[in-house]
Chain A
Amino acid sequence: MLAALFAGQGSQKRGMGESLFGKYKDVVQAADDILGYSVIDYCLNASNERLNDTRFAQPAIYTVNALKYYEFEREATGEKPDYFLGHSLGEYNALLAAGVFDFGIGLNIVKRRAELMSQVRGTGMAAVLGLSLAEIKDVITRNNLSDIYIANVNTPNQTVVAGSLASLNSAEEVFFDNFAVNYVLLNVSGAFHTSYMDRPVDEFETFLSSFEFESPRTAVISNLTAKPYQRDDCVRLLSQHINSPVMWQPSVEYLRIQGVERFIELSETKTLTDMIKYIK
């Protein structure tokens, strides 16, 4: 069985989507109308600062991922994915591909999501490599790193933590003292997927409730639960998504148990494919 994967923030690159914009002019026009600026101009010319600003990065990644999916659909020789799975923001592309909403609705939601998430300042995220989740939790507890939270459960050797910038900086040494192999501050503007995002959740939930969602035509695995989406759960799963850890590793484990052996990543980078290798 086949699963299609969509990356989230961190996968953005200047020049992304360049080979696809010309083929999907309607989609690009729709994106520009919703966003009020040129997606092409952003993707090709944005400064590093703007490229890493979640307000702009999220809608752009969603758009480029969507084009990659449309291209995949067009070129696919009959084989359709049995499952869709996105990493963080990528979950919106998974839901789009499964027909839960159309491109425009998805982009409107992503735009609002990005605006709300960008309101949280002075925080960030870091990837801790070489320690298991249990070891990281242990380090956090034993060293009273009370402002460090688990944000992404990615692989047995890679977990993303998040917190205030000051806490992230002082946690680095602590993790290295405890056998971490690497500690990489991520190019994101906030402590996503932690309780730092509590305040936007209610407002986002209200916003989501104003939309009609369809049942997924193909199973989409939720980052929150590591299980398939049900239509009635969309509002809850998407609103709680932003202040809850991304359960990537359990999601991939679920897929493997269901019999998925092949994964195709429809993103700018191959980070997800790289991670999959380490999840049994």
Chain B
Amino acid sequence: MSDVKAVLVKHFINAVDGVFEDSLDTSASMKDTYGASSLDVVSVVSGTMRELKIKVPRTELKNVASLDDLVALFERSA
């Protein structure tokens, strides 16, 4: 797993109840499949931005549904 993905997954598991790394489907919708709220997604993005020191363009955040989408966004913005 890339660094970006590992960090995002870590923050996601911390933020959302009942999510475990071995069964996590990073292509699934964070909100629809895992019940993540908007604040959960903020927590994941904020934590990752600070840890990796990458700023992501917020206009693109609204197109993000899955962790894989976030990985792609962060990798583009690095």
Contact = CB atoms under 8 A, between A and B. Distances in A.
Nearest to A155: B39
Contacts of B76: none
A181 B49 contact: yes
A179 B49 contact: yes
A63 B55 CA distance: 43
A278 interface: yes
Contact of A183 (B39, B46, B58): B58
B58 A182 contact: yes
Contacts of A181: 42, 45-46, 49, 58, 61
Interface string B46-57: 100110000100
Interface in A144-160: 155, 157-158
A275 B38 CA distance: 10
Interface residues of B, number: 12
B25 to A, nearest CB: 23
Interface residues of A, number: 16
B37 interface: yes
Given A130-B45, A182-B58, A183-B58, A274 B50 contact: no
A110 interface: no
Contacts of B38: 182, 274
A131 B45 CA distance: 11
B19 to A, nearest CB: 14
Contacts of A179: 46, 49-50, 55
Interface of A: 129-131, 155, 157-158, 176, 179-183, 274-275, 277-278
8 contacts: A130-B42, A157-B42, A158-B39, A176-B58, A181-B58, A182-B42, A275-B39, A278-B39
